[in-house]
Each structure stands twice: as structure tokens, then as C-alpha cells.
Structure 1
Amino acid sequence: MHHTSLIALLVVGFALAFLFGGLAHRLRLSPLVGYLLAGVLMGPFTPGFIGDASLAPQLAEIGVILLMFGVGLHFSLRDLLDVKNIAVPGALVQIAVVTALGWGLARLIGWPNVTGIVFGLALSVASTVVVLRGLEERRLLDTSRGRIAVGWLIVEDLAMVLALVLLPALGGREGGSLGGALLTTIAKVGGFVVFMLLVGKRVIPWILERVAATGSRELFTLCVLTIALGVAFGSAHLFGVSFALGAFFAGVILSESEFSHQAANETLPLRDAFAVLFFVSVGMLFDPMILVTEPVNVLATFLVVVVGNGIAAWAVARLLGKPSGTARLLAVSLSQIGEFSFILAGLGVSLGMLSKDGQSLILAAAILSIIVNPLLFALHDRIEARRERGKPEAIEVISPPLPDGERPHVILIGYGRVGSELGPLLQAHDIPLVVIDDDLPLVERARAAGIPAVRGHAANPAVLSEARPDRAQMALVAIPNAFESGEIIERLRELNPTISVIARAHSDAGVKYLLERGADGAVMAERELAHSLAEMVGALPAFRGERSLPPATA
């Protein structure tokens, strides 16, 4: 059965990740916890099925490439510049403080200085997935506090990208003295960056434009994946830099292209799938016995992550003159660790700079901190509720005013290819309209067109309530995913049982599914297109039994 080890690893990995990810979601925890636990069950330290340890690192490497590609694809220099005065110094000071705390704990355990630095760095960077989810659930992404948190995350991510570049030099992989190794690494990275800015910035968008012109979705998706994996592989072999840095820069270059949104959408399923495999493979490395054999070290590491990051972020924000509410939100958001921590730990182990026990402590602290984080957010919400009678913090009004409820309005969910065509048509007919979309560029496009827009996932009751469904006459669900549409329709029915709901589908099964979920009607684009083309053909004089006039003669 050795020849089927890859298939077995994928099947069992996805199945367990689905089961435990779903359970974590039901418990209102991050699905990352479920994915990590799935990996623990597949690892060599627990009984039952054991995944092929030789395949897991390679799958994890692909996961790292696609994760970093996604980070680069969503990198926003504008978001960072808007809050640079607090995000840049704040994140750097917080990273330095927590790295020092981690180093101190490592020295108490008896580890060398270099191990302490890697250990501390891994404890200082928050999970972007967890933070964004917490902010979105509370409708804070578009507030000044939310933008500071996002900018802070960007700085943390950039700092970790730099750490991934420099760690091989610090680990002696480059050979020679430390100074010479650092100079060599910086020179290689500089050469790669110059190459990407001079060549990649011109060639990559040019290739994407030509492929997009073919109209083939499959070729476009393959092109994007080839760019992500090809740049990562080429950067490692031609410039000696990490796969992670190459993938990150490929994403950054693509983010400036007009096809960046399409590239993100087309590759999202594959990126999500390999991200799940990445977390599963990380879980396979975790030895649960460390919770029994080293409980004091696990607790100390957990406290560095939660208390150290929280107090450091809160204190820096207050010192920089931010209100207590902003400082408190930053403290809660950043008091956990995730993706980059695993990447740094894995690199540290491969370079001999971090022990397996150190990696297990990091994994234990990550799992515990992600589990505790929703409880900290709940405490934050209670404190905010008690301050309701106080002076609220100013929130930027960046959207046209929402309907006041005097006239029935329409809720348009999804402002992509279909929604962006439908919205202006409704607006031209003077129909009150509210757009809901979870993609910031699309929300900004709607607002720029004068359409009130709410950012967030419409299945979230808090997001949906902001569009006032109780006063809406109709909802148009224009997103392509039938399962997400079904969940949104159910939420709409709960908030307004009398609202009319029309949804978009791509198949007869999708139409049936949406109708079963409560839609009043479901439009299948392909069928409507066929009917429209047939009507156009039938309207031609030659097919109506009419003879067209002969061409005019001189």
C-alpha cells in the first residue's frame, strides 16, 4: 500500500479536517483549531492512522507557498500608509518585547541564544485569519480601530517575511562569518527584488492580460498558479531565497494588476485546500505528551503569547496616544499566534536552530491561544457594552447613507461581475438599494458609484442587520456559491419572513437547493442567456416570415 500513501494522506487529512473544522465552527472557535487537531490524530504520537511523514513536509511547503502568495495578493500598501504612524512603531515594539520575553523563557529552559530568538519571534506574530474573523464579526473592519489592527498585522507579516529571509544566514547555512552570511543574503534578496520590480512587474501582468483575453477560466487559473509556484521555485534556485519570499512577491506583483481580484477568486479554492493541508501537516508534528511532561513550560509559553502580546500591544497603543478602546481591541486581537509562527518554527527546526520540544511548545501555545481568543473577544464586548453611555469613539463615515426605512429598499448581496452590472441598473430606476459584499475593493466601487454598501459576509446576522432587512421589500443574492446563498437566504427569512428573495444559480440542482432554502425564485444564468439568444434570433425578420428590404442602390 506504500504507493497509495499520498492518496491516503489526502483522503484522511481532508476528512478529519472537515470533521474537526466543522466541530470547531459549531463551538464558535477558529477552524484552524480543528485542522491542527486533525493533524495531531494523524501524527506518529497518537494511535490509529499515521500519515506518511515524508510526504507531509512537501505538502506543507506547497501550503506555505500558496499561503504567502495569498498574503502578497491581499497586501495593501495604502492600508498600511493610512495608519503607519501607529502600526509601524507599535508592531515593531510589540515584536521586540515579546521576542525578548520568549528569549528569556528559552534561557530559563536552558536553550541557547539563537534558539531563544527563533522561539520568541514565533510567539510574537498573530494569526491574520483569527484577527480578521474577530473584527468582521463585530463590524470593525471599516472603523479606525479596525484599520489600525489590519495595518499592525501587515507590519507583523512583513517583519516575519524578513525573518524568514535572514534565519538561514543566522543559522550558518550560508557558511563563513555571520556578517558575511548576512551580506550575502541581503545581496541575493536585493537582486531578486530588483529582478521582480524590473522584469516581473512588466512580464507577469502582460502574461495575465494575454491569457485573460483567451476567455478561458481554466487557462487563467493555471496561469496564476504557475506564476505563484514558478516564481517561488525560481527564486529559490536562481537567487537562493526562500519559497515563501518568492511567493509573497509574486502575490504583491499580481496585486497591482487589474486582474488581481479575479486571480484571488479563481485560486481561492486551491489555496484554501492546501492551507488546510498545511495546518494538518503542522498538527502531525505536535506531541500531545508535552502537555503532561512539561506543563509548566506550556503554561509559561501560553502566558507569553496571550499576556505578553496583549499587554505589549495595549501599552504601545496607549503610549502613542490612542484611546483605551483602540488599545483594548489591539490587545485582544493580537493575543494569539498562528500561520507565521508555524512557518518560522518549521524553518527553525530544519536549520537546527529550534528543537522539536520548542516546536511542540509553540504549537501547544497556538492551539490554546486560538481557543481562548473568542473568550477574550467576548470580555472585550462586555466592557464595550458597559461604556455605551460614555463618549463613543469616532467612526469614519465612508459610505452613502443607508435607507432610512421610509421607502422599501432592495438588498443586493454580492457586487462582483453580476452585482456590479445590476446595481447601477437599479439605481438608474431610482430604486433604493443597499449592497453587501465582503471584498473591500468591491465595496469601495459600490460606494464610489453612490450606492450604500456594507462590508462583511451576509450570512453574519450582524452584517445583514445593518442593511435593515426588516424594512426591505426584496433581496437579490448575486453570489455564485449556492451553499453560501442558501445560508444567507435562511438568515434573511429569520429577519424578515415576508421579504422576496431572488437568487443566482448555475445548475438545476442549484435552483432546487435555493428554492428549498426559501428563495422565491432562482435564476440560472445559462438558461436565461439561452432564452435571450433565442428571442433575439426569433426577432430577426428572416425568422418571422418577413422579407428584409433590399439594400439601397445609388
Structure 2
Amino acid sequence: MPHNVSLINTIAAGLGLALIFGFLATKLRLPALVGYLLAGVVIGPFTPGFVADAAIAAQLAEIGVMLLMFGVGLHFSLDDLLSVRKIALPGAVVQMVVATLMGMGLALWWGWGMGPALVFGISLSVASTVVLLRALESLGILDSFTGRVAVGWLVVEDLAMVLVLVLLPPLAGVFGGTQPAGNDTSIWQTLGLTLLQVGGFVALMLVVGRRLFPWVLWQVTRTGSRELFTLCVVAAAVSIAFASAALFGVSFALGAFFAGMVLRESEFSHRAAEESLPLRDAFAVLFFVSVGMLFDPSVLVERPLQVLAVVAIILLGKSLAAALLVIALRYPLNTALTVSASLAQIGEFSFILVGLGAALGLLPPEGQSLVLAGALISIAVNPLLFKAIAPVQGFLRARSAFVRHLEARDDPLAELPTATEERFLSRQVVLVGYGRVGRRIAQALTNAQQPFVVAEQNREIVERLREQGIPAVYGDAADPAVLVQAHVARARMLVIATPDAMAARPMIDTARTLNPGIEVAVRSHNEEEAQRLRDDGAGHVFLGEAELAEAMVRHVMARAEPGR
């Protein structure tokens, strides 16, 4: 067959087999992405039969990474990133160091040198943003505080990996690689240049991009052409990502992420996210297929114990380190478990690093196979870990006095100050969540002089509210102790303004157990979710599209009255 149709062959075989194996996986009650990975194994070079073009598959997967990161940026503002900096920055740095040391220790025990051990350890320390996004979106918690923490954590990891990938070539000779060792001056110059490039790119996007790209999107929207709008969105995602890599040396993924962040300033960001969703989904499938193509199944037979050790570091070592860090920073158990599940996998940056390490003579051939095996297994298992969060959380709280002690420890932000006025603690409104929706509700309550108490998982927000004289309690409101501290037993209404509707049920149960007559108002994102909450007697459920339509209808009918 002519070579000029290899792109068509790769797309057709990849998507076709992904559909078949994904369908079979869901029938077996496994995550669909397990089927996508198996499809890649089938058309990869290590299994008999048709072999797809791996180079083309890798480039298609890179486009998928760009579009997915662009989608994250559309939902993740700079304020969101800064709001989680106190947990994401130290957490990501310490977790990467711990995971790297674990991987290095394992490699040194196998008899590898210091250079290969370092590359191997770093490759196990960074999680896949693509896998994380798919998991958070499927759970509907991408916009929640816990989701923002997980995404912010991985953004910090991505920034760190950009530095690693730039600094590795000049340092290769120092660690025994094939590249000549650079002197101290060249190393420090490289580090300084890299920091300047990344800083320059971020500054350019935040200062110029936040004004320029929303304006361009508005000009395209005025044409009334849906095709041009979709083209503008996709072109912005891909071209900005490419330009950031070519001009500033940052990764495609990071460039696309910041492209989405600046376009979020446009009033059409929601439409942009919807228009790019089909492409994001299709190319995300190709990403997982390309990962499967890199996997050599023979490593499972030839080095089973080494594969198990690698998987143990990824699934247990990283997860445990992350969970302990989050708890040490005084965040709730749910946040700790969600972040630990988010990091229990490795992905695209790991593949790039091991490829560069092998090219520099810093990684033995079996190293790449072990990393890919760990990636494939951890990506396949990751959705199951997210499903296990709620059962594990309930089990730990019910069976472990130590866990209950941690959650009930003496934390000044976890209870209202004794100086809180009595008027705030009688017939008050308990407002769960102080995000974009919660802030508007709080402002309306303040204007109406209606007392309220905020329950929020972000420590920085709770500290800021208390500085402003607003009663606030830190913690996960799904935990009964948090609502008790908010004096829900004496409240007139519980308002749940967080986007995580699944967590609303335990909040409502607690509130009605302590206060049977309390009114409840809940925010929901889709009709199916809203109907389930209504069926469970959740009170008044507000669905975004429905409330917008009702408000528009009221406006139209009022303006259409006779005589106007």
C-alpha cells in the first residue's frame, strides 16, 4: 500500500479498534480507556499483524494533548491557580522529590548508575495531565476545589519537567551520558535562560494574550460563521502551543494550557469549550492508542518483578506520599484521597523524558520498557482508584480512630471563633462553597443584611473571609463535623453552591438529621443529575441552563407586555 495513506491507515485503525475494544471493555465493566490502550497494543510493532505508523500516531497524540490542555485552560483561570498555590506548589515539589528518590533507590538496587537512576526516578514522579483531566471530567469535579488543587499540582509538575528536559542535555556528561559535560557557567546560563524563556512566555500571555485573543475571538464571532468560530478556537490552541514551543522552549501542553487560560477571559469561553470538545475526545482516544503502541508485552514475562516494583511506586509510593502531604498541610481527607488518586499514574512527560534519556545514553533499553509498562498498567487502573475514593474514605472514618483524630484535630479554622456574634448563629444561612457562584450569593445576602456562615475547603479563602469579618469554617462540608461547626442545627437554610453535586447528598442528610425543618438549595450541572437530587428530596435544585432560560423568559415576557 502506498506510503502516502499511512496517516489514513493510522487514524482508521486506531479509532476503529479503539471503538471495538472500548465497547468490549465497558461491557466487562472496565474503563473504556483500557480498551483504547489494548487497541494500541494490537496495532503496535510488538504484536503480529497490521502495524500502524508510530511516528504519525505520536504526532496525532500530541495534538490531542494540546486540545485537552487547552480545554483545561478554558476552565482554569489564573485566580484558580493562585488560590491553590499554597498546597499545589509545595506539594508538587516535595512529592516529585520523594517519588524520584524511590525510583532512584530501586534502580540503584538493580545495579544501574547514578545518571540512569536519576532519569528513571524523575520519569516515575510526574503524572499525566491528560489522564487526570479525563478522570476529573467523568466525575464532574473538574471545577471543584479538589479538582483545581489536582490540576494546579500537575501544572507545577509540568513546569518542573520543562526545566528538567531543557537541563538534561548539558548535564548528560556529568552523569555518564554520551553528551560532553558542560562547565558550571554553561549550566547556570542554561538554567537562567530557561527561566527567562518560561517567565517571558507566561508574562506575554497574561499581559498581551489576555487582551488580544478574546478580542480576536469577538471579531470572528461577529461574522456569524460557526465554522470560522470553531477554526479560530482550534487554530488558537494549536498555533499558540506550537509558537510557545518554538519561541520560548516550553512544552506544547503548557503552551496550550495558557492559551485556554487567556481565552477564558472572553465571554465566549463556554462556547469555545463546547466547540472543541468533539476534537478533544477524538484526539484523546488517539493519545491512549499511541501509548499502547509503545508497549512491548514481553516485558511482563521477562521482568515481572521489576514491573511490579515500578507499578508499586506509581500506585502506592506516589499516592501515599501525596496523601500524607495534603493531610500535613491541613486539608480534608477527601482532598488527600483525590489528589493521591490523581497522581497514581504516569504519562506523556514520562515518555518524552525516557526517550531523551535513551538518546543521551542515560537510560538502558529495559528502562524505557519498564516505564511504559508502569504507564500502561497505572493508566488502566487509575479510573478504578477514583471509584474507590468514597468507599475508602467511609471505611477509614468508620474504622480508624487515628483518621478521625486527624480530621478533628485542633485547627483554628475548623471551628468558628467564640467571638462570633450570636446573630450569625441563629436562623442564619449556611453557604457551602465560596467560588464564582458562592461569592455572588454571599454578596446578595450581605446586601440584604441576612446573616450567613460559609463552609469552604480552601484555607486561604477562609482566612480572607475571617479578615473581612465574615464567619467561615474550613473543611469538607460532606463531613458532618464541618456543618456542626457552622451551626446548621440552628440555620434556616442550607445553600450548596459547589459544582460537586454528588457530595451534596451527605451534606443534606447531615443537615436534615440535625435540623429536620431546614430548607435546602442545591446547584447542579445537568438535567440527569438534577433529577436524581429531586428524586432524593434534595429540596430546590437549580440547573444552570434551566435557570438561565427562565430568567430570559421573564425578561422577554415583561418586555413583550401590551403597551410597552
TM-score of the superposition, structure 1-length normalised?
Answer: 0.67
Asked if the contact 1:87–1:148 (Cα under 8 Å) also holds between the matched residues in 2, the reply is no
For residue 155 of structure 1, what is the aligned residue in structure 2? 153
Asked if the contact 1:92–1:156 (Cα under 8 Å) also holds between the matched residues in 2, the reply is no
Aligned partner of 2:532 among 465, 483, 487:
465
Deviation at 1:130, TM superposition (A): 5.3
For residue 397 of structure 1, what is the aligned residue in structure 2? 432
Deviation at 1:31, TM superposition (A): 2.9
Amino acid at match of 1:164: V
Asked if the contact 2:291–2:376 (Cα under 8 Å) also holds between the matched residues in 1, the reply is no
1:90 counterpart SS class: helix
**Length, aligned pairs only:** 440
* Matching of residue 76 in structure 1 with residue 74 in structure 2: no
Distance in 2 (alpha carbons) for counterparts of 1:357 and 1:290: 8
Cα deviation digits, residues 394-453 of structure 1 (max 9, x gap): 8962478xxxxxxxxxxxxxxxxxxxxxxxxxxxxxxxxx9999799xxxxxxxxxx955
Distance in 2 (alpha carbons) for counterparts of 1:54 and 1:132: 24
* Matching of residue 295 in structure 1 with residue 304 in structure 2: yes
Cα deviation digits, residues 307-357 of structure 1 (max 9, x gap): 111220222233223455554444344333345444544555566655553
For residue 504 of structure 2, what is the aligned residue in structure 1? none
Amino acid at match of 2:125: S
Asked if the contact 1:170–1:182 (Cα under 8 Å) also holds between the matched residues in 2, the reply is no
Distance in 1 (alpha carbons) for counterparts of 2:139 and 2:241: 36
Distance in 1 (alpha carbons) for counterparts of 2:230 and 2:307: 43
For residue 12 of structure 2, what is the aligned residue in structure 1? 11
Aligned partner of 2:282 among 239, 255, 273:
273
For residue 286 of structure 1, what is the aligned residue in structure 2? 295
Assess, with a 3 A threshold, how the Cα gap between structure 1 residues 226 and 183 changes in structure 2: closer, same or farther. Answer: same
Aligned partner of 1:208 among 206, 217, 220:
217
Distance in 2 (alpha carbons) for counterparts of 1:459 and 1:360: 43
Deviation at 1:361, TM superposition (A): 1.8
Deviation at 1:7, TM superposition (A): 1.0
Asked if the contact 1:38–1:283 (Cα under 8 Å) also holds between the matched residues in 2, the reply is yes
Asked if the contact 1:438–1:457 (Cα under 8 Å) also holds between the matched residues in 2, the reply is no
1:268 counterpart SS class: helix
For residue 99 of structure 2, what is the aligned residue in structure 1? 98
For residue 314 of structure 1, what is the aligned residue in structure 2? 323
* Matching of residue 305 in structure 1 with residue 314 in structure 2: yes
Assess, with a 3 A threshold, how the Cα gap between structure 1 residues 351 and 55 changes in structure 2: closer, same or farther. Answer: farther
Assess, with a 3 A threshold, how the Cα gap between structure 1 residues 214 and 436 changes in structure 2: closer, same or farther. Answer: farther
Amino acid at match of 2:157: A
For residue 22 of structure 1, what is the aligned residue in structure 2? 23
Cα deviation digits, residues 208-241 of structure 1 (max 9, x gap): 1100111211101111111222222323333444
1:467 counterpart SS class: helix
Assess, with a 3 A threshold, how the Cα gap between structure 1 residues 140 and 236 changes in structure 2: closer, same or farther. Answer: closer
Deviation at 1:21, TM superposition (A): 2.2
Assess, with a 3 A threshold, how the Cα gap between structure 1 residues 111 and 250 changes in structure 2: closer, same or farther. Answer: farther
Deviation at 1:380, TM superposition (A): 4.4
Alignment of 1:9-158 (within 5 A): 9-128=10-129, 147-148=145-146, 150-158=148-156
* Matching of residue 261 in structure 1 with residue 270 in structure 2: yes
Cα deviation digits, residues 120-171 of structure 1 (max 9, x gap): 33322344565566667778778xxx62453143122232234125413322
Distance in 1 (alpha carbons) for counterparts of 2:108 and 2:368: 16
Cα RMSD (Å) of the superposition? 4.3
Amino acid at match of 1:161: L
TM-score of the superposition, structure 2-length normalised?
Answer: 0.66
Further displaced range: 303-312 or 52-61 = 52-61
1:366 counterpart SS class: helix
Assess, with a 3 A threshold, how the Cα gap between structure 1 residues 258 and 353 changes in structure 2: closer, same or farther. Answer: farther
Assess, with a 3 A threshold, how the Cα gap between structure 1 residues 153 and 435 changes in structure 2: closer, same or farther. Answer: closer
* Matching of residue 187 in structure 1 with residue 196 in structure 2: yes
Deviation at 1:283, TM superposition (A): 1.5
Structure 1 unmatched runs, 5+: 401-433, 441-450, 480-503, 505-535, 537-554
Distance in 2 (alpha carbons) for counterparts of 1:118 and 1:231: 29
Distance in 2 (alpha carbons) for counterparts of 1:347 and 1:266: 35
1:171 counterpart SS class: helix
Deviation at 1:262, TM superposition (A): 1.6
Asked if the contact 1:30–1:130 (Cα under 8 Å) also holds between the matched residues in 2, the reply is no
Assess, with a 3 A threshold, how the Cα gap between structure 1 residues 93 and 115 changes in structure 2: closer, same or farther. Answer: same
Amino acid at match of 1:9: T
Amino acid at match of 1:124: S
Amino acid at match of 1:397: V
Assess, with a 3 A threshold, how the Cα gap between structure 1 residues 237 and 87 changes in structure 2: closer, same or farther. Answer: closer
For residue 359 of structure 1, what is the aligned residue in structure 2? 368
* Matching of residue 236 in structure 1 with residue 236 in structure 2: no
Identity within the alignment, %: 51
Assess, with a 3 A threshold, how the Cα gap between structure 1 residues 350 and 248 changes in structure 2: closer, same or farther. Answer: farther
Further displaced range: 187-196 or 6-15 = 187-196
